[in-house]
Amino acid sequence: MNNSKFVFANREAAQKSVKTAGSSRHSDILRRLLRSKSTLSAIFCICLITFLAVFGPGMNRWAYNEPRTDLRYMPPRIAGVERFGIFDGSRILKRRRAANLNDTSVYPAGSVLRVYPVFIEHGVELADAKVDVYLLNEAKNTYFWFGTDYLGRDLWTRLWMGTRLSLFIALTSVFFNTVIGTVYGAVCGYYGGKTDLLLMRVTEILDSLPQIVLFTLLIIIIGPGAWPIIAALCIRGWTGTARLVRAQFLRYKGFEFVLAARTIGAGDLRIITAHILPNAIGPVVTRAMAAIPGAIFIESFLAYLGLGVQAPEPSLGVLLADGRQLLTEMPYQTFFPALVISVLMISFNMLSIGLREALDPTRRGES
Amino acid sequence: MFIYAIKRLAALVLTFFTVIVLVFCVIRLMPGNVFDDPDLTSAAREVLAEREMTGRPVLLQLADYIRRAVFYADFGVSLKIDPGVPVFSVLKQRLPITVIINFAALALALPLGILLGVAAALGRGAFSGKAVVFVTVMCVSVPSFVVAALLQYFAAYRLGLAPGLYMPSAGFFERSRSLALPVLALALAPAAIVTRLLRAELIDAQNTDFMALARAKGLSPFRAAVNHGLRYAIVPLIPVLTLMFTDILAGSLVIERIFSIPGMGRVLIDSITAKDHSLTMAVLIFYTFVELAAMFLADLALGAADPRIRLTGGKTA
C-alpha cells in the first residue's frame, strides 16, 4: 500500500474554518430580515421617500406656498428628460383656430410642436395642437419638474412638503400610540387582577367608539388641522398595542428568568423594563410598522374630505383632492401624489410582513 | 346562547347611550356652535329656543332630545343644508343610496374574496405565496380614493367602460351602471383582506386531522376544502368582517364625494363644514348605530360558530 498519496490534514486550518461568530438573537433577526428581497425593496422605497421628503423641497428654487399667477397649470418639465418627449412641458390644446397656430404673435416661434388634423365646426377651421406651454408663457428657462397647480405653485416642492407632513403626522401618532400602549399593557399584564380588569374595561369602551364619530367630534372641537388628526389617532390607536403587550406580559411573567430576577432582588420596574419588555418588543415594533400606513391613510382621507390639513399647507391628501378636480385634463396632478402614497403604504405593509416573518420564522408565508 | 346575546346587547346599548351623550354634550356645549350664530334671525332663535330648548340646562335638553328621537323620530330641524326641513326626512332621502353601495360592495367583496382565497390556497403550487401576498398587500395598501381616481381616469374617461360620475336622474340600468365604479373601488381592499386571511387559514387547515380524514374518505382537495376546511377557516374571518363593514362605511364617505353620490357621507361632510349641527348629530347617531349593530351581529355569529366564546363571554377570543 502506498502511503505517499495521503497527507496529514491541516488540523489548525480545518478547525479554524468551522469557527464562526456566534449569532445573537438580534443579528439573526436582522439577517433574516435583509435576506428577503421584498423587504429590502420596501426599506429602499421608504428611505428614498423619506430622503425626498426631507431634502426634496430644497432641491429647486420654488417655495411650496409661493403662488405664480402667471404660471398656473404648467405641465411637468424636467431638464434633460425633455428631449425624449416626456416631461417636456407640452400639452395638447383642444379646438384651437387653425389659422392662429401659425401666428407667432399668439403662439411664439417653436411653441407649436405638432398639429393634429384640421376639422371644421360652425364654419371655423379648428385643430388640436400639441403646444410647448413654457414657450407659450414666455418661461423658456423655467423648469417645474412636476408642473404647477391652480395657483402656480410648484408641485414638486408641494409634493415633498406634503409627504413630510403626512409622514410627520403618521410617525408622531404611531410613536405616541406605541409608548402609551406599551406602558398601559405592561401595567395590565404585569400586575393583573383588579387593576387589569379595570384598565382593560377602559380599552373595551374606547374600542367601541366608532372612529368616524371620534374624528368628527375632534374636528368640531379643535377645528381641522394636523393636531386634531394626531389627537384622534392617539385616543384609541393604542388599545391594540396595549392588548398585545399585555398578552406578552401574561405569557412571560411566569417564566423562570423572571423568578430568578426577583430572587436576586430586582424591583417591579426593573423586571418590567429590563427582563420582560425586551422579549415583547418584537411584536410591538411589527405592530407599529403596520400602524403607519393606517395613519397615513386616515390623514389623507380626512384631507381629501376637506376636514384635515388646511390650505396653504400641503399634505398628500390635500394634493390628491386638488388634483381630483382636474383629473381628466391634467392627470399628472393626481398621478404623482397617488404614486407616492401608494408606494409608501405598500412599503410599510411589506416591511411589517417582513419583520413579522423575521421575528417568527415558523409563521412564514401566513401573514 | 341566549344569555350571551343579552349580555352583548346590554353592553352595546350602554355604549350607544354613552356615545349619544358624548356627542350631544360636545355639540351643545362647544362655543361657536350654530345656536350662538349671530346671523340667526330672532324668529329662528325663538323657534330654536322652543324646539331645542336652548338656554335650559344641557341635561334637560338631552333628555328632551332623546324623548323626541325615540317617540317621534324627531331629530330636530336642519338649519343650513336644507333650512327648515326636519333632519329625519333629510336623512331618509339620502339613506337608500348609501345602503345600496355599502351592501353592494360587501356583496361583491365577500364571495370574491372567498373564491380567490380558496383558489389561492388550492393552487399553492401554481402561484407562489409571495405573489399572492404582494398582490393582496397592494390591494389593501392603495387607498380607496386613489383606486377611485384611477378607475375614474382609466375605466371611465379613457376607456369609457362605465360612467365616471353618479347619474341620479338616469334610468334604472344606466344608474346601476354608474354605481359600478364606486362599488368596485369600495370592494377591492376588503376582497383582498378576505383572500389573504382565508388562504392562510385554509393552508393552516390542511395540517389538521379532520382534513386528512376528509381526503382519506375520498373527497377531492376542492371538496375537502369547501366542505370541511371553510367551516374551520371562516371563524377567524368573522371579527374581520365587522372591521371590513365599518371600513366600507367610512370608505363610502370619500367615495360618495368622488363620484358625487348624494348619500349619508355627503351629508356628514357638508353638515360639518356648514356647521349644521342637528344634522351632524343625527348622522353620527346613525353611524354609531350601524357600527354597533354590525358588532352585535358579529358577536352573535362568533358565539354561534364557536361554543367556547359564548360560554366564556368572549374572553378567550
Higher-confidence residue: B11 or A150? Answer: B11
Q: Looking at this protein, which amino acid is placed at residue B86?
A: P
Q: How far is CA A103 from CA A107, A108, A195, in A?
A: 6, 8, 83
**A281-315 pLDDT per residue, tens:** 888 888 888 889 888 888 888 888 877 777 777 88
Q: How buried is B105 (Cβ within 10 angstroms: 0-12 exposed, 13-18 middle, 19+ buried)? A: buried
Q: Looking at this protein, which amino acid is placed at residue B62?
A: L
Shortest CB distance from A213 goes to which of B257, B258, B287? B287
The rounded Cα B174 to chain-centroid distance in angstroms is: 25
Q: For residues B118 and B230, is the Cβ–Cβ distance under 8 A?
A: yes
Instruction: Give which of B36, B68, B39, B34 is closest to B51, Cα–Cα.
Output: B68
Q: Is the peptide bond before A314 cis (omega within 30 degrees of 0)?
A: no
Residue for grid cell 402656480: A152
Answer yes or no: is B85 within a domain: no
Q: In this predicted structure, what is the pLDDT of residue A309?
A: 78
Residue A307 sits at the chain B interface (C-beta within 8 Å): yes
Residue A328 sits at the chain B interface (C-beta within 8 Å): yes
Dihedral sign, Cα of residue A139, residue A140, residue A141, residue A143: positive
What is the torsion angle, in degrees rounded to the nearest 10, for the CA atoms of residue A62, residue A63, residue A69 and residue A74?
Answer: 50
How many domains does one find in chain B? 1
Q: For residues B211 and B226, is the Cβ–Cβ distance under 8 A?
A: no
Q: Cβ contacts (< 8 Å) between A209 and chain B: which residues? A: 15, 19
**A222-245 pLDDT per residue, tens:** 777 788 888 888 888 888 889 888
Q: How far is B255 from chain A (nearest CA, A)?
A: 10
**Residue A195: pLDDT above 70?**
yes
**A47-98 pLDDT per residue, tens:** 998 888 888 777 777 777 777 777 677 777 776 666 666 667 677 777 777 6
The residues, ordered by sequence, that sit 6+ positions from A29 with a Cβ below 8 Å of its Cβ are A282, A358, A359
Print pLDDT tens along chain B (317 aa): 778 888 888 888 888 888 888 888 887 777 666 566 666 666 666 666 666 666 667 777 777 778 777 777 777 777 777 777 777 888 888 888 888 888 888 889 888 988 888 888 877 666 666 777 788 888 888 888 888 888 888 877 777 777 777 777 777 777 777 788 888 888 888 888 888 888 888 888 877 888 888 888 888 888 888 888 887 787 778 778 877 888 888 888 888 888 888 888 888 888 888 777 788 888 888 888 888 888 888 888 877 776 666 666 544 33
Q: How far is B169 from chain A (nearest CA, A)?
A: 22
Q: Cβ contacts (< 8 Å) between B250 and chain A: which residues? A: 211-212, 301
Alpha-helical segments (H) within B143-276: 144-150, 172-178, 180-205, 209-216, 221-224, 230-233, 237-258, 264-274
Q: How buried is A78 (Cβ within 10 angstroms: 0-12 exposed, 13-18 middle, 19+ buried)? A: middle
**Structural domain boundaries enclosing B150:** 100-273
Residue of A nearest to B34 (CA): A220
Q: Give the number of residues written for chain B.
A: 317
Shortest CB distance from A297 goes to which of B129, B143, B196? B143
Cα(A28)–Cα(B6) distance, rounded to whole angstroms?
50
Cα(A359)–Cα(A340) distance, rounded to whole angstroms?
28
- Nine-digit cell at A209? 367608539
Cα(A35)–Cα(A29) distance, rounded to whole angstroms?
10
Q: Give the number of residues written for chain A.
A: 367
Answer yes or no: is B143 within a domain: yes
Residue of A nearest to B202 (CA): A366
Cα(B141)–Cα(A351) distance, rounded to whole angstroms?
12
β-sheet bridge partners, residue B86 = B77
Answer yes or no: is B188 within a domain: yes
- Quote the pTM value: 0.82
Shortest CB distance from B146 goes to which of A217, A219, A338? A338
Q: How far is CA A357 from CA A18, A31, A323, B104, B302, in A?
A: 28, 12, 38, 35, 28
Answer yes or no: is B180 within a domain: yes
β-sheet bridge partners, residue A124 = A121
ipTM of the complex: 0.80
Shortest CB distance from B26 goes to which of A221, A348, A365? A221
Cα(A180)–Cα(A219) distance, rounded to whole angstroms?
23
Cα(B95)–Cα(B107) distance, rounded to whole angstroms?
18
**Residue A175: pLDDT above 90?**
yes
β-sheet bridge partners, residue A52 = none
Ramachandran region, residue A152 (left: φ > 0; alpha: ψ -120 to 50; beta: rest): left
Cα(A66)–Cα(A154) distance, rounded to whole angstroms?
8
Q: In this predicted structure, what is the pLDDT of residue B40?
A: 64
Could you give the count of Cα atoms lying within 13 Å of A32 in the half-sphere of its Cβ? 17
Range with lowest mean pLDDT among A167-181, A248-262, B69-83, B270-284? B69-83
Q: In this predicted structure, what is the pLDDT of residue A213?
A: 83
Answer yes or no: is B189 within a domain: yes
| Contact at CB, A305 and B280, closer than 8 angstroms | no
Per-residue confidence band for A18, with pLDDT thresholds at 50, 70 and 90: low
- What crossing angle do the helices spanning B237-258 and A277-304 adopt, rounded to 10°? 30
Answer yes or no: is B47 within a domain: no
Shortest CB distance from A304 goes to which of B200, B254, B272? B254
Q: Which residues of B186-202 are buried (b: 16+ CB within 10 A; e: fewer)?
A: bbbbbbbbbbbbbbbbb
Q: Cβ contacts (< 8 Å) between B138 and chain A: which residues? A: 346
Could you give the count of Cα atoms lying within 13 Å of B215 in the half-sphere of its Cβ? 11
Dihedral sign, Cα of residue A37, residue A41, residue A42, residue A43: positive
Q: Cβ contacts (< 8 Å) between B258 and chain A: which residues? A: 324
Residue A312 sits at the chain B interface (C-beta within 8 Å): no
Alpha-helical segments (H) within chain B: 2-29, 42-51, 58-72, 87-122, 129-141, 144-150, 172-178, 180-205, 209-216, 221-224, 230-233, 237-258, 264-274, 277-305, 307-312
| Contact at CB, A334 and B149, closer than 8 angstroms | yes
| Contact at CB, A301 and B254, closer than 8 angstroms | yes
β-sheet bridge partners, residue A77 = A88
φ, ψ dihedrals at A82, nearest 5°: -60, -25
**A117-130 pLDDT per residue, tens:** 777 777 777 777 77
Ramachandran region, residue B160 (left: φ > 0; alpha: ψ -120 to 50; beta: rest): left
Choose, out of B22, B34, B36, B137, the residue to mutate when testing the contact with A (most A CBs < 10 Å).
Answer: B137
Q: How far is B48 from chain A (nearest CA, A)?
A: 20
Instruction: Give which of B148, B126, B139 is closest to B258, Cα–Cα.
Output: B148
**Residue A182: pLDDT above 80?**
yes
**Residue A328: pLDDT above 80?**
no
Residue A124 sits at the chain B interface (C-beta within 8 Å): no
Answer yes or no: is B20 within a domain: no
Dihedral sign, Cα of residue A165, residue A349, residue A357, residue A248: positive
Instruction: Give which of B8, B116, B141 is closest to A208, Cα–Cα.
Output: B8
CB pairs under 8 A between A and B: 116
Shortest CB distance from A305 goes to which of B141, B253, B287? B253
Q: In this predicted structure, what is the pLDDT of residue A177?
A: 92
- What crossing angle do the helices spanning A25-35 and A37-55 adopt, rounded to 10°? 90
Residue B238, domain CATH: 1.10.3720.10
The single-letter DSSP state of residue A145 is T
- Nine-digit cell at B68? 323626541
Q: Cβ contacts (< 8 Å) between A38 and chain B: which residues? A: 130, 134
Cα(B139)–Cα(B116) distance, rounded to whole angstroms?
13
| Contact at CB, A300 and B143, closer than 8 angstroms | yes
Q: In this predicted structure, what is the pLDDT of residue B317?
A: 36
Q: How far is B143 from chain A (nearest CA, A)?
A: 7
Q: How far is B240 from chain A (nearest CA, A)?
A: 14
Cα(B41)–Cα(A176) distance, rounded to whole angstroms?
46
